[in-house]
Structure 1
Amino acid sequence: MRIDVLGSVRARRADGTPVGLGGPRHREVLARLVAAEGRMVPTDTLVDALWDDPPPRAVGALRTFVAALRRALEPDRPPRTPPRLLVTEGPGYVLRLPRADVDAHRFQDVLARARHDPAAAPELTAALADWRGPAYADLPDRPWARRERTRLEELRLDGIELRARLLLDAAPTAPDAAPASGIPATAPTPAAQLAALAAELGAHVDEHPWREPAWALLARALHRAGRQADALAALRRARTLLGERLGLDPGAELQRLEADILTGAAPYGQPPAAWSVPGGRLGPRTTVDLARTLSLAGGDALLHARRDRLAAIHAAERTGDAELTARVIGAYDVPALWSRADDAEQSRAVVEAAERTLAALGPAAPDAPAARLLATVAVESRSADLTPDRLRRAGQAARRAESLARALGDPALLAFALNGVFLQSFGRPGLAPDRDRTGAEILDLATRHDLPHFAVLGRLVRLQSASALGDLDAAAAHARAAERLAAGTEAPLVGVLTGWFRARAAADRSTRPGGPTAAEAAARYRDAEAALRTAGMPGLRRGLLPLALLGLRLLHDRPAPTDPRLDWGPYLPWARPLLLHARGRRTEAAAALAALPDPPPDHLQEALWCLTARAAALLGQPAPATRAARALHAARAEHAGAASGLLTLGPVARYLAEARACAGESGEA
């Protein structure tokens, strides 16, 4: 059996005959299991992957899809014989196929080999030819599919550039020339092959003009083909694109390459060693610097920044130079405010690269690069996406980075390390005062040492903390100060966040005499969501508006909204008991409440605990009420959800009292 997802999802038998997979839902189930790469996918995860608002019998429907897929994948399996390919495991399902039988897995494995073994170039060429279009092209644009498409597309672009480098390193330019990389060659590569490679790279840079290593490869291919003028024209085109659209000079590698071609410093057919590594000898104006600049612009630029940053890290790792890799990883000291990653898989890849680099540097690593790597681990290990063990390790990294930065006396490094401390300060509810102290120190450092982007971060951290403590006047002052700073630093995302804060403040005022109506507050939330839609922050946006509207309804003692079009994102499990209760389905609501896990330790954990408390009180369930009361006790002086600075469910004390009454508790117990 062969399964392909690099294009539309399909299955084929060994002889190439297609397998009928059924309808779109069947293909979605199969594709989600492929994306898990041999790991078990829980039933609840599959249900959430298939439906934004699961129907009452979603689990039964899922089982029907699985049964149909099993019949399609193993039509000759005897009755009552356990399946071998699509297997039930624990609370979910797993697809057990050799990696070579899934095109996406095969491609990733070949790419990994080619990074270390130049002889794998022909395999890489074949693996790239397996791509028939965007990964999972025929599936709906659901979050998991979007993440996989983005991740695999980044690997495809890396693969195109790695293949070009390997072919250029191996290609002699004259019958008596030896391959530059030592790859055995039985015959000289004809000029036609170099011309074809140059044409492929030309199309590649047209589609992805910000990938500086690709421009270097194109210039190399043209130069090796004897087209010196075209090589220089390509480099000048790169200079124009970077200068006119982004106001940047080309990276040091492109500048050096242009100079070498002009002066003839590189013997024809034997390019400098650094040319053979996209991103090699990364200087101050490299892809990672471009990514750092783009990250502050939001929207599509922010998406490109994430992709280019990871490409730069992979390129640096391929050099085998741990110190270089540490500099590249640590150069991306972009302030981060939200405890849920926009791309969890990519954040995990950055953390893993930082940890590999720390291990490669060893215990004798200089304190400054070690501190930057540790701070990167802390900042990229967003608490909402972590297991308890990873959360503990991220917290340790944050504390160690802070200690090293203080000892070094480097204010910029300390501000970056404190950013990690802030993002790892959501281990339990009720820590808004601690975060405010961290934000105040970041702001002080940034003000005294001219670190404008960290000054913005400090203001926003303090806005969130004041919002959590119900001090809307202080929060509004921090919002205005952040906006003034953003005007001078070209950080348009700040206005998106402060727009949400003003909607949160309107929701709070809607409960007071003379304040806006609930409908007006809801309209403010919807306006804020419209601005967020193009900001390039899916980790922040998804599920935020429904949660805000639910909080507004709770402020006015109204039931949960029942609009099936609302995308609750990661907050659905905690909203579901209230949604079911609002539809009169108490038995299902009680079951959903009983199955609730603890909320993730993030900006919205108090809000989710308060939803648990409200559902427990409505349904008369003492056990979850007791859990919620214990969790919320430390946050009793805060406002639920307001630590985000974006929404509010009202004072935590209100929900705490409901939970205690349901649990039969009283007072400060």
Structure 2
Amino acid sequence: MRFQVLGPVLAHDDLGEPVALRGPRYREVLARLILAHRRIVPVSLLVEDLWDEPPADAVGAVRTFVAGLRRALEPDRPPRTPARLLVTEGLGYALRAEPDAVDAWRFDDAVRSASTLPAGRAFSLLTEALRWWQGPAYSDFADAGWAQAERSRLTEQRLLAVERRAEAQLALGAAAAAVPDLDAHVAEHPWREDAWGLLATALYRSGRQADALAVLARARRMLAENLGIDPGPALRRLEHDLLRQAQHLDPVATDPTVQVWEQARAAYDSAVPPGTGTRLESTAGLMRDLAVTGGGGLEAARAHRISAVVTADRLGDAELTARVIGIYDVPAIWTRSDDPAQDRRLVDIAEKTLLRLPAHDDADRARLLATIAVESRGALPVDTPTESGLRPLRASRQAEEIARRLREPTLLAFALNGVFMQSFQRAGLAQRRDTVGTEIVEVAAHSKLVTSEVLGHLILIQTRCALDDHAGADRHADAADALAQRYELPLVEVFTTWYRALRTSATTDLDTARAAYAAAAASLDGAGMPGLERGLLPLAELSLYLRHHDTERIAAIASETDWGPYRSWVEPLLLVARGESESAQNALHDITSPPRDLLFEALWAIVAQAAIAVDDVEIMRRARTQLSPAAAETTAQSGLIGVGPVREYLDNIESALSSH
């Protein structure tokens, strides 16, 4: 749940949809609790703040408001269970929102953090923070006494942020870009002498000395005529320094790329009005570039992308929405989602947009279909196929068909990414994916689509591992690293580092292999890929112990180890290693098929090993059925971990079943 008070008081759910808060009193109670910043607000104080002359049933009314807010803010909370967000403590209430859930709290943090950051990062942070303002703080309650002090404080914080942002621009050498905003700022807040000084400095550094002196003269007149005072010492010193062209006022040397960026940004802001579809498309394009920077960039790109898509959808323009969705053709390699709820939301909007799109718009249609295929990663049905379950697979094929007909390389590379994501209908399809990866590399290299070319090489690392061609996988890892270094793509190293840990594990002793995987796991810290990160290191270590037949080390794995999404498939083997055969049998009895993704064969092999140990005939037969199509492959097709050849597990299953 997210809360807005920098403007009207609003709440939004985790999909960005507004939450219905009923009448103004409900919203006022929420606003008053937000203002308390997670602290308890006594009921008596709420009554005092809400009414000048409280009615006889004021306490009961407050309780009604709180109950209504709880229903709106925690709609899925089971009846008669304690509230987790709007809690009762003692004789009052508190809103236990997360520290980043309220825009005003995030704004305070941003202003505070910016003062310690380099100019470039401070400028970016403050620019983003100032966009959160949708009007005066707590604008619904401008006349409420309880809000006045906080409204004044936040207003002062905003003015400070505007001025610190301008300081950062000056430090970056982007003085000309700072002038328009500072000019508007002093016009609206003429008593802020620091702002006048910043405007004069920006003009001087833009080669406009006369305008800079005129600004200071204007400030002097305004202060004299309206307040009867002279400018303060800082403005008087600045005027003196401008007249003598003091050396310290000269523009600071800065990175020319920063200057170009700032000048372009200022030109864009001037030429493209806010609230236009063009801005949404530009946002999606920027997020596409931001996503490949890794870490916070990837996470921020996902968040801003879905915001742009949701906004475009609300505007009701299907063609605009299709463009905003389709422009974000960021290659995807891992088959587990980083944010399933967001992906479902995106797919739903893409499906709705497809129905509204003009029939002749083939290119946008293909991008929407490819988006559905890519964002539905790991969603193929594990058991009985259904029409809805097969939808992403069919979408990938339709996107590929349109892209080939249009002969558009960028579109084809994106469509083939969707084909790859939906190429896990069964085990043993590494050769098919190898063909897809090879074509992506060829198409991307010919058309200079660098990120898609990297994707193709990463796919080929996976497939060559599965086909036991590690020399070929080495070549593709080297090619991916070379492109990543040349074009500054840090996320690529995560996958190639894990691949090289896999290679190390096949040729060295157990302890060296563990150290290689631990180093690879460190590359995931801050990479912004939770769908890849959780549970992967312990799964890699388990794969080592399996290949070395080291039951003692398997038994020694701590019970509280975070296996992420893989726990249910490794649990039976862990229990077997600890001698808990009955518990292992029970765990196998409830086992479901792993998702059809890059670890499908590896997880079935782990399950098969446990089933053999406890002589579970049914599970052995299920494992044999699922693994048989991959009899000629290894289980290292993920390019990150491997538990040995599939054939070895099938032989073990056959040997165990032969006694029945």
Per the normalisation by structure 2, the TM-score is 0.65
Q: What's 1:292 paired with? A: 288
CA contact (8 A) 1:296 1:493 kept: yes
Structure 2: which amino acid aligns with 1:625? M
Structure 1: which amino acid aligns with 2:300? H
1:593 aligns with 2:560: no
Q: CA 1:12–1:332 in structure 2 vs 1: closer, same or farther (change >3 Å)?
A: same
Alignment of 1:253-652 (within 5 A): 255=267, 257-258=269-270, 274-275=273-274, 277=275, 280-282=277-279, 286-361=282-357, 364=359, 366-383=361-378, 390-509=388-507, 516-559=508-551, 560-564=554-558, 566-640=561-635, 642-652=636-646
Q: CA deviation at 1:131?
A: 4.8
Larger radius of gyration: 2
CA contact (8 A) 1:623 1:663 kept: no
Q: CA 1:611–1:485 in structure 2 vs 1: closer, same or farther (change >3 Å)?
A: same
Q: CA 1:448–1:134 in structure 2 vs 1: closer, same or farther (change >3 Å)?
A: closer
CA contact (8 A) 1:195 1:222 kept: no
Q: CA 1:255–1:628 in structure 2 vs 1: closer, same or farther (change >3 Å)?
A: same
User: What's the % identity of the aligned pairs?
Assistant: 39
Partners of 1:202 and 1:610 in 2: CA distance = 60
Partners of 1:386 and 1:204 in 2: CA distance = 52
Q: CA deviation at 1:398?
A: 0.8
| Unmatched segments (≥5 aa) in structure 2 | 1-28, 47-69, 88-94, 103-125, 169-177, 204-251
What's the secondary structure of 2:336's corresponding residue?
A: coil
CA contact (8 A) 2:380 2:424 kept: no
CA contact (8 A) 1:543 1:569 kept: yes
CA contact (8 A) 1:251 1:283 kept: no
Q: CA deviation at 1:421?
A: 0.4
Q: What is the aligned-residue RMSD (CA, Å)? A: 4.9
Q: CA deviation at 1:590?
A: 0.9
Structure 1: which amino acid aligns with 2:637? A
Q: CA deviation at 1:631?
A: 0.3
Q: What's 2:246 paired with? A: none
Q: What's 1:133 paired with? A: 99
CA contact (8 A) 1:253 1:281 kept: no
Partners of 1:334 and 1:454 in 2: CA distance = 8
Partners of 1:161 and 1:636 in 2: CA distance = 58
Q: CA 1:317–1:399 in structure 2 vs 1: closer, same or farther (change >3 Å)?
A: same
What's the secondary structure of 1:333's corresponding residue?
A: coil
Q: CA 1:220–1:569 in structure 2 vs 1: closer, same or farther (change >3 Å)?
A: farther
Q: CA deviation at 1:194?
A: 11
Q: CA deviation at 1:369?
A: 0.9
What's the secondary structure of 1:427's corresponding residue?
A: coil
Q: CA deviation at 1:444?
A: 0.9
Partners of 2:360 and 2:477 in 1: CA distance = 40
Q: CA 1:248–1:306 in structure 2 vs 1: closer, same or farther (change >3 Å)?
A: farther
Q: CA deviation at 1:486?
A: 1.6
Q: CA deviation at 1:570?
A: 0.6
Q: CA deviation at 1:294?
A: 1.7
Q: CA 1:473–1:503 in structure 2 vs 1: closer, same or farther (change >3 Å)?
A: same
Q: What's 1:44 paired with? A: none
* Post-superposition CA distance 1:107-147 (Å, at most 9, x none): xxxxxxxxxxxxxxxxxxxxxx99573459xxxxxxxxxxx
Structure 1: which amino acid aligns with 2:415? A
* Post-superposition CA distance 1:210-242 (Å, at most 9, x none): xxxxx9x99999599477989x97xx99xx9x9
Partners of 1:194 and 1:259 in 2: CA distance = 33
Q: CA deviation at 1:319?
A: 3.1
Q: CA deviation at 1:11?
A: 12
CA contact (8 A) 1:243 1:249 kept: no
Q: CA deviation at 1:630?
A: 0.3
What's the secondary structure of 1:281's corresponding residue?
A: helix
Q: What's 1:25 paired with? A: none
What's the secondary structure of 1:375's corresponding residue?
A: helix
* Post-superposition CA distance 1:252-310 (Å, at most 9, x none): 896354369xxxxxxxxxxxxx53x2x643277x3222221121111122222222222
Q: CA 1:329–1:429 in structure 2 vs 1: closer, same or farther (change >3 Å)?
A: same
Q: CA 1:487–1:517 in structure 2 vs 1: closer, same or farther (change >3 Å)?
A: same
CA contact (8 A) 1:251 1:287 kept: no
Partners of 1:549 and 1:518 in 2: CA distance = 9
What's the secondary structure of 2:592's corresponding residue?
A: coil
Partners of 1:652 and 1:132 in 2: CA distance = 46
CA contact (8 A) 1:418 1:438 kept: yes
What's the secondary structure of 2:414's corresponding residue?
A: helix
Q: What's 2:112 paired with? A: none
Q: CA 1:297–1:658 in structure 2 vs 1: closer, same or farther (change >3 Å)?
A: same
Partners of 1:165 and 1:484 in 2: CA distance = 45
Range moving further from structure 2, 645-654 or 294-303: 294-303
* Post-superposition CA distance 1:316-363 (Å, at most 9, x none): 3343322222211111111110100122222222222222322332x5
Partners of 2:164 and 2:633 in 1: CA distance = 52
Q: CA 1:317–1:533 in structure 2 vs 1: closer, same or farther (change >3 Å)?
A: same
Structure 2: which amino acid aligns with 1:526? A
Per the normalisation by structure 1, the TM-score is 0.64
Partners of 1:611 and 1:408 in 2: CA distance = 44
Q: CA 1:251–1:455 in structure 2 vs 1: closer, same or farther (change >3 Å)?
A: farther
Structure 2: which amino acid aligns with 1:534? G
What's the secondary structure of 2:328's corresponding residue?
A: coil
What's the secondary structure of 1:612's corresponding residue?
A: helix
Partners of 1:3 and 1:582 in 2: CA distance = 53
Q: CA deviation at 1:193?
A: 8.6
* Post-superposition CA distance 1:455-500 (Å, at most 9, x none): 1111111111000111111111111111122222211222221111
What's the secondary structure of 2:556's corresponding residue?
A: coil
Count of equivalent residues = 505
Partners of 1:296 and 1:480 in 2: CA distance = 19
Alignment of 1:85-124 (within 5 A): 85-86=80-81
Q: CA deviation at 1:538?
A: 1.6
Q: CA deviation at 1:601?
A: 0.7
Structure 2: which amino acid aligns with 1:359? L
Range moving further from structure 2, 308-317 or 491-500: 308-317
1:657 aligns with 2:654: no
CA contact (8 A) 1:341 1:385 kept: no
CA contact (8 A) 1:295 1:302 kept: yes
Q: CA 1:247–1:368 in structure 2 vs 1: closer, same or farther (change >3 Å)?
A: farther
